[in-house]
Structure 1
């Protein structure tokens, strides 16, 4: 008895290795501006780099540095009920990043990743909806990290030596 296997090439999003340019085989990762060193974003980014790429993370040295900065989370009312109560929110999350060399000279253009989700609000189930909103915000942060990884795989590096002349 013979079995034949065929594959359609489907892969779950976020699985497999992300290929990065050779110049980024070793990378430092840091947060700047309003982000603390204990930022969940920094931890999520380092974890994603370790598990989904072949990039080695270095804490110091002369490796290029991925700077994460200007993380913002916001919400706005999308719809209200006939009695004027909030029915739905639009949650927004964005973070900027840039690659720099050891002297903080740009190796890439600054980029911003934006993620948004709709969130239904229920006045009768406030605690559950608050927990759901926290989970949505955490999911949005993970999605932003995945977008940064994908962008790193296609990034065009600026020649920092050319900027010296």
Structure 2
């Protein structure tokens, strides 16, 4: 299950940026351009989902279903960053916005992984056993049983 849709990510990308994402060849036909960019967007979404799951798996069963709205937002931000990072992001231009949004998403996901932020509505009782458990034998000696020895 993807945390965002192709259409949601596509809405975040300006039409004039599509040709750069596809390659060096300018494609005038909008239908052909959409057909070529669709698998690229889907791959960026899959990468974003994997990155999100990597952070969340420590505390939550993944993939989240249903995913909180905040995860949808950050999935879109990470997917768009993945698309533009293929070309190289110019930090002196408006593309820095993609980097800033990506960094905000990673910071949030890091805080979730550290347990400092909760996703709230997600059921954590089904979380994977990614931690550790400690078992020991019954206590043999106590203060009372050693008294007088």
Using structure 1 for the length normalisation, give the TM-score: 0.29
Structure ID, larger Rg: 2
Greater RCO (CA < 8 Å, at least 6 residues apart) = 2
**Higher helix proportion:** 2
**Higher strand proportion:** 1
